[in-house]
């Protein structure tokens, strides 16, 4: 499921907005590996923008290793660079942990208490 919401007020070029939102959808798992994206001309029509703008977004995404364009078949999500996705996920984990540390500081938890809590949660989750 892919949603793309364009704005004319952000000052960000349209092709950048499309790229950003497709990338976000990939990172969020809304678009799966191998999933087909709308055709360039279909997406241009749906968004009421030019074909060239859409082409540019798709070409950039291909160069960055998020999608692959297969002539005559269409554009598919493909993680040519799995590290990219893993890196993004690692950053998400770091951010969540940092947020937990800030909250612990506010609650005046000690390091030991925080670690205890963390271990307990891991256990409850059957994390391996």
Partner 1 sequence: MNNILELNGVSKTFAKFALKDVSFALPEGFIMGFIGRNGAGKTTTIKLILNMLKKDSGIIRVFGKDHAQSEQEIKQRIGVVMDQPFYVEEWTPADLEKALLPFYAQWDPAKYSAQLEEFELDRQKKIKAFSRGMKLKLMIAAALSHQADLLILDEPTSGLDAVARNELMEILQTFISDENKGILFSTHVTSDLEKIADYITFIQDGRIVYSDIKDNLLEKYSLVKGPLGILSPAQKKLIIGYQERSVGFEGLLDRADLREMPASILAEPGNLDEIVLRFNLGKRTHE
- Among 36, 50, 81, 98, the residue binding partner 1 under the rule CB under 8 A is 50
What is the total count of residues that contact partner 1 (CB under 8 A)? 15
Considering the rule CB under 8 A, would residue 41 count as an interface residue with partner 1?
Answer: yes
- Among 2, 4, 49, 114, the residue binding partner 1 under the rule CB under 8 A is 49
Rounded Cα distance between 102 and 116, Å, is 16
Go through the chain and tell me how many residues it has. Answer: 128
Q: Tokens 């499309």 label which residue?
A: 18
- Beta carbons of 3 and 25 less than 8 angstroms apart: yes
Shortest distance in whole angstroms from residue 45 CB to partner 1: 4
Considering the rule CB under 8 A, would residue 11 count as an interface residue with partner 1?
Answer: yes
Q: Which is nearer to partner 1, 16 or 87 (CB)?
A: 16
Residues forming beta bridges with residue 76, ordered by sequence position = 36, 68
Token duo for residue 65: 């290793």
Q: Which is nearer to partner 1, 52 or 99 (CB)?
A: 52
Rounded Cα distance between 15 and 64, Å, is 14
Which window, 20-28, 41-49, 81-89, 98-106, contacts partner 1 (CB under 8 A)?
Answer: 41-49
Token duo for residue 5: 């919401």
């Amino acid at each position: 499921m892919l949603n793309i919401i364009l704005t004319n007020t952000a000052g960000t070029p349209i092709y950048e907005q499309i790229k950003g939102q497709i990338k976000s959808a990939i990172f969020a798992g809304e678009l799966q590996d191998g999933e087909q994206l709308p055709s360039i001309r279909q997406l241009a029509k749906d968004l009421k923008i030019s074909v060239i703008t859409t082409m540019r977004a798709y070409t950039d995404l291909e160069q960055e290793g998020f999608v692959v364009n297969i002539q005559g078949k269409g554009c598919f999500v493909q993680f040519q660079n799995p590290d990219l996705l893993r890196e993004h996920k690692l950053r998400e984990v770091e951010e969540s942990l940092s947020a937990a540390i800030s909250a612990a500081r506010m609650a005046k938890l000690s390091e030991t208490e925080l670690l205890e809590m963390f271990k307990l949660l891991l256990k409850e989750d059957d994390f391996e």
